[in-house]
Amino acid sequence: YVNIDDCWMANARVDGKLVANATRFPSGIKALAKYCHDKGLKLGIYSSAGTKTCQKLPASLGYEDVDAATWASWDIDYLKYDNCFRDSQSALARYSKMRDALNKTGRPMFYSICNWGQEEVWKWGKDVGNSWRTTGDIEDRFESMRKIYMRNVILGDYGKPGGWNDPDMLEVGNGKMNTIEYRTHFTLWAMAKSPLLIGCDLTKIKKVDLDILKNKAIIALNQDKTGDQARCKMACREQDFRRTARRAQIAVMKTVDGYALAITNWNDRQIIYGTRVVFSELGLDGSSYKAVELWTKQELGVVKDSFIHRALVPHGTAVYLSLIHICRCRRSTLCRSRWSP
């Protein structure tokens, strides 16, 4: 998806309909959609469930049917629906009206609810949209990313195929975090099953940051067919997220062939040494696994019951893909693993 955010529309409606800003989109949005589709891409657009967008331009409250029909006529594939300048109606009521309007068009559109995690959206979002923001806006700072992850990681029971928790877009490439921090950010967002929306200027991104965004092994965790969001399993108290955390935190998600484990050091200054990963303590349903660390590509071979991650730098994350090691033979020690590097 190539998604257009706020300010794509003109300052006023024409004949009751939203129209594109003629300076920014002289050929119109429908032509842009065709351009994207011809390249194998999809096009997303933006509005707000209020009387104005966040930049005080025309929004869609009260115009749900006409706006949904307009976007469908333009062949739009995705809607980000914001929460600015709302009235006294509940979020559930406002966002449901747009859901119904989109469904009336008959055109499939990914519906992204952006009400900033208010009114416990994770409890009703799956009945209304395809994703829902669980927090306020992210900033390109490690502390912002840390706080948003802390709020989102506890909501794993709500995100499932067809409806996803959304901790906001990626900051990778914007330049205010370092490579270690961006790797942590990308890893944790991927394992959270967050929509992976790039939020930087791709014409200016550094190669090292682009390589993070293109890491196929991490993307595969996000796209794993189980749809299981990673849950915190070790060092999950509030103090374990702090800048002075003394032990590494471990989050676990199921995969089609086993599990993925993220080991994160939230401490600002200290290296954390000797993190013991004990399978039974993490709720893994096997005792022997074949494991590989996905950033370094270091293979551990077959490990039984536990292993030790020797050192983790401040703000760093190691992620292990552990695939179940299955013994097939009763009379020999030969085993077969479900494994692909």
Parallel/antiparallel/unpaired status of strands 272-278 and 131-133: unpaired
State whether the Cα torsion 296-211-144-225 is positive or negative: negative
Examine the residue annotation and report whether 82 is marked as an active-site residue of this protein: yes
Q: Is 251:230 a contact under the CB 8 Å cutoff?
A: yes
Please state, in angstroms and rounded to a whole number, the distance separating the CA atoms of residues 16 and 312.
Answer: 57
Catalytic residue among 137, 157, 285, 305: 137
Catalytic residue among 67, 82, 209, 224: 82
| Beta strand residue intervals within the chain, DSSP E | 2-3, 43-48, 78-82, 110-113, 131-133, 164-166, 231-234, 249-255, 258-264, 272-278, 288-293, 299-304, 306-312, 317-327, 335-337
At 44, is the secondary structure helix, strand, or coil? strand
At 164, is the secondary structure helix, strand, or coil? strand
Examine the residue annotation and report whether 6 is marked as an active-site residue of this protein: no
* Radius of gyration of the chain measured on its C-alpha atoms: 22
Question: How big is the chain, counted in residues?
Answer: 341
Catalytic residues: 82, 137
